[in-house]
Structure formats: structure tokens, C-alpha cells
Amino acid sequence: MTLTAATSPPDYAAFLRDQYALQTPNVASYRLGPEQVWLKKAGPRHSMARYRVLGLLAWLTRLQVLRPVPNLGGSTAIATEARRLHSLAALGLRVPEVLAQQPEGLLLRHLGRPGEATPSFDGEMQAASAAGPQAVLARWQEGLAALQAVHARGACLSQAFARNLVRCPDGVLGFIDFEDDPLASLPLALCQARDALCYVHSTALYLREAGALHEARAVWAHWLAEQPAALSALLAATAQRLAWLRHLPQDRRWGRDLQRARAAYDLLNPSSHAAATP
């Protein structure tokens, strides 16, 4: 971590302007007196080719939830992230505070205590396995509740994977990584369905490995029944059209990605008779 001389009060805009020219990586952390900040530089612009492939896949599978949400990189991604962070913070959600902004960079306040990392929810799920299935299930339900809190405010995340949820010092789950805006491309129900699917895909394997998948299916079914009709219908239809995933092997030899996809399918289908353990 780079240390800088304290300013009183900190001139965030000047620090962003001066440090931007010196910073090599796209993201780096610094200390400004007693606080910790992150400087995020614009990355290279992204090609649209990969989004055309995703669009074709969405059309072939008749799954609108797979429609691509472009992240064009560059100054566009910086502007999008700043706008989304401001709007989510205004809703009372725990996201990094934007301290300063310029076309090619952002200065963000650290969500944790200065000098201490904010634990990743993905890491917490993995670590909970040692405490048994109920510990993993409790963590998973906590993440699902955090997602519900976002949706209850009429909002959505960008990529609701467990790695993009972090534990703040007061125990609240925060959210990071907002370089794209699904609402700019998709209706709200589709955006929220994407959130749920991203969360399930990134966590279901931990449930399976801990022997908690059977209980989680019941929790998921109850959660789904309480969602708005448009969202629950989208998720139910998506689960049905992903039925081919049941043919994927569960063997570790095929890699974690296939295991995650298969575990996600088994979680999304409470009637599935797949084993809850590997």
C-alpha cells in the first residue's frame, strides 16, 4: 500500500489528478492521512464481438435474461460506475463512496477499516464449510437477503457474484464493481433475475460441497414464491429452459465451472433428485 502525506482536509480531486498520472495498474490503494482510498483508472475499451455471441446465445435458448449488458470500458465505464455508485448510495445501499471523479478515473473510499481488507463473501462461504452445512446455509441465506434488500428498493446490481459482495466492519454486506448498467439495456425484472442467477451460480457449489443443497432448495422455493410475479415467472422459465444442465457431470475432473453450473441447476430445481453432496 502506498503512503501519502496527509492533507487537512484532503483534496481528493487534486490527489486523483496528480496520482492518476503516476499510477501504473488500473486499480491501486493509498492512505490519505487516517483514511484509505482506491484509485481506479479507465481500462482499454472493450470489443462488441463478445456481446454479439451472448446475444446469439440468448436468442437460441429463448432466454432474454442472457441478453448481454455491454461494458465498453474506457471513460464510459468510469462514468457508468460513478453514476451507479451515487444512485445506489442514495437508496441506502452499502457501496464505495465516490470522493472524486475525472473522465478517466475515480477515487473511492475503502469500505473497510483503513489498512484492513474487506472480506469477500465468496471467501466467507468457502470458509464456512469447515463449520458444517448449517453454517454454509446461514451464510447463503444472508447473501440472498442482501440481494433482496437491493431489489426491494427497485434496484439491481451489475454482476451479483459472491466475489462482488464484501463484509463491512459493522457486519453489513456491501457491493462493489459497477462498470456496467443492466437497466440501460434490460427491463428491471430481467436485471433482477440476472442478479439472482449470478448469485446462485457463484454459491450453489459451496452448498453442495457442504451437504446443504437439499435445505437450500426449500429456501430458494420459498424465496421465489415471495417475489413479484414477473421476476418469479422469469426465474422459473429460465430454470426449465436450462434443463440440459442436468446432463453435465459432477466429477471434479471436468473443472469448477461445470461443477458450478450443475450445482446451480440442481438448486434452481427443487424437484431435482440430484445428490446434495459431491
Q: What is the 3-state secondary structure (H, E, C) of 159-223?
A: CCCHHHEEECCCCCEEECCCCCCHHHCCCHHHHHHHHHHHHHHHHHHHHHHHCCHHHHHHHHHHH
The strand pairing partners of 102, in sequence order, are 105
d(CA 218, CA 223): 9
Least confident span in 59-63, 81-85, 103-107: 59-63
Output the pLDDT for position 59: 47
Integer-rounded Cα Rg, in Å, for the chain is 20
Q: What own/partner pairs with CB < 8 Å and gap ≥ 24 does 71-74 have?
A: 71/46, 71/179, 71/180, 72/45, 72/46, 72/48, 73/42, 73/43, 73/44, 73/45, 73/46, 73/179, 74/42, 74/43, 74/44, 74/45, 74/104
For 130-174, the pLDDT digits (tens) are 899 999 999 999 999 999 999 999 999 988 999 999 999 999 999
Write the DSSP symbol of residue 120.
B
- Average of per-residue pLDDT across 253-261: 65
Burial class (CB in 10 A: 0-12, 13-18, 19+), 249: exposed
Cβ neighbours for 93, distance < 8 A, ≥ 6 positions apart: 149, 150, 153, 155, 175
End-to-end, the C-alpha distance of the chain in Å comes to: 40
Q: Does residue 175 contact residue 95 with C-beta atoms inside 8 Å?
A: yes
Arithmetic mean of pLDDT, 113-128: 94
pLDDT greater than 60 at residue 6: no
Residue 29 C-alpha cell reads as: 490503494
Which residues make Cβ contacts (< 8 Å) with residue 128, sequence separation at least 6? 135, 136, 138, 139, 206, 210
Neighbour-count burial of 115, counting CB atoms closer than 10 A to its CB (0-12 exposed, 13-18 middle, 19+ buried): exposed
One-letter identity of residue 33 = G
Given a cut of 50, whether residue 60 has pLDDT beyond it is no
What is the C-alpha to C-alpha distance for residues 213 and 195, in angstroms, rounded to an integer? Answer: 20
Residue 68, pLDDT above cutoff 80: no
pLDDT tens digits along 203-235: 999 999 999 999 999 999 999 999 999 999 988
Q: Quick one: pLDDT at residue 250?
A: 59
Dihedral over Cα of 83, 185, 147, 132: its sign: negative
**Model pLDDT, residue 31:** 94
Confidence of residue 201 (pLDDT cuts 50, 70, 90): confident
- Looking at residue 278, its pLDDT comes to 41
Confidence of residue 266 (pLDDT cuts 50, 70, 90): confident
Q: What is the pLDDT of residue 100?
A: 98
pLDDT: which is higher, 65 or 154: 154
**Residue 54: what are its φ and ψ, rounded to 5°?**
-65, -40
Task: Give the list of residues 6+ apart from residue 229 with CB closer than 8 angstroms, or none.
Answer: none
